[in-house]
Amino acid sequence: MSRKPRKKKKRPVRQRRAASPSRLTATARTLGKRRGVAVIAAGAVLLAGLILVTALVLNDGQGPAGEDPATEPGSSALTTIPAPDTKHMEAPVRRRLEQARSAVERNSDSGAAWGAYGALCDAHSLYECARACYSVAIELDPQDFRWFYLLAFVAELRGASVDQVAAHYGEASRLRPALPTTFYRLGEALTRAGRLEEASEAYGRALAIDPELAVAHRGLGQVALAQGDPQAAVDRLERAVALGADRNAATLASLARAYMRLGNTAAAEAAAERAANVSDELPVPDPVRRGIQQMNVSAAQSAIRAARMIEAGRYEAALDQMRVVEESRPDEPSTHYRIGLCLAHLGKPDEALPRLERAAELAPDNEVVRRELARVRGLVDGP
């Protein structure tokens, strides 16, 4: 005979009393003892995650395109000094960069040292390095307008927003209000962003400082053309031409379009024909950016400077540039020819002769080299 299952008695549900502070403390201590290892392990995981996030945020100061790095004004300075890869660079470039970086290591609290390192990076197209260094220079030396000005230039190259670029140029103009190229470059940045009214105002401020700034007249003319005012465009562009843009294709092409919109076909065709036969750049008289360009010690840039100096009769300065070129291009005939030419014009024909002889060996069919060699040989041998 089977037994009937026993029915379980229902126990009344007891209401839990709120734990007193003393009981909570005791419980916490008990849990701490029992789970101490687990808490430590979890803490270690959390700490590792924080370190990883921090590393990703810093990431050598390089954020997504359009964002300024973490070292913009108002943020903390770099914890490490940027170190671009220089192993494949020409010896003079590598040496200068290493020297500038060492100067920052010795004077890490010097805005001038950071700015100089940034400028050298800027000169050799190392724009991320330059951007980071200029940002730290601003933190350490916020009264030097150059760091804001140069940061604006490279930040735009690296995709910063036009508002960020405008803010940097704004600070530069506050510190150095009489520099017209600050407003010109701001106008260019605003034009590229399609903010034509603001660009027109910026160009106007540049011209208020320097009424004969041809690039600013061209900028105003192109903005007027984009805004549908061809007569204002013609007036500004013709002024730019009169101030030296007569061999600049971009200026003349814009002028041709403006005349065409006015219905002046003859003037439009004449301007278009002139534009097709010229290729000169319209220089920006910018002492700050020119100083950056002069810091470039690559063989190519040094050779260009040397050639211009020779044309101007500045043989001593040209010789200095050619010494830099020779480090990277010791077997090029142009290197020996220009060094020999400079030495000859500096009254050192005995030193010039072997240089010109080497140039003739490397380029035996070069008539210019042969003529200079014959001339210098005559000086050495005498009548």
Which structural domains are found in the chain, ordered by start?
88-177 (1.25.40.10), 298-381 (1.25.40.10)
pLDDT score for 136: 97
- At residue 10, does pLDDT exceed 50? no
Q: What is the pLDDT of residues 279-337, one digit of tens each?
A: 899 999 999 999 999 999 999 999 999 999 999 999 999 999 999 999 999 999 999 99
Q: CA–CA distance from 186 to each of 115, 149, 200, 201, 207 (Å)?
A: 21, 10, 10, 10, 13
Q: What is the pLDDT of residues 93-117, one digit of tens each?
A: 999 999 999 999 999 999 999 999 9
Encoding tokens for residue 36? 């101490």
| Mean pLDDT estimate for the chain | 85
Q: 275 or 74: whose pLDDT is higher?
A: 275
- At residue 126, does pLDDT exceed 50? yes
Give the rounded percent of residues in the chain with a pLDDT score beyond 90. Answer: 78
pTM for the whole structure: 0.76
Q: 361 or 66: whose pLDDT is higher?
A: 361
Q: What angle do CA 293, 288, 135 make, to 5 degrees?
A: 95
1-5, 11-15, 121-125, 312-316: least confidently modelled range:
11-15
Q: What is the pLDDT of residues 136-168, one digit of tens each?
A: 999 999 999 999 999 999 999 999 999 999 999
Q: What is the pLDDT of residues 236-266, one digit of tens each?
A: 999 999 999 999 999 999 999 999 999 999 9
Closest CA to 271 of 238, 244, 299, 320: 238
Closest CA to 161 of 149, 170, 152: 152
The amino acid present at 142, given as its one-letter code, is P
Q: What angle do CA 54, 56, 57 make, to 5 degrees?
A: 65
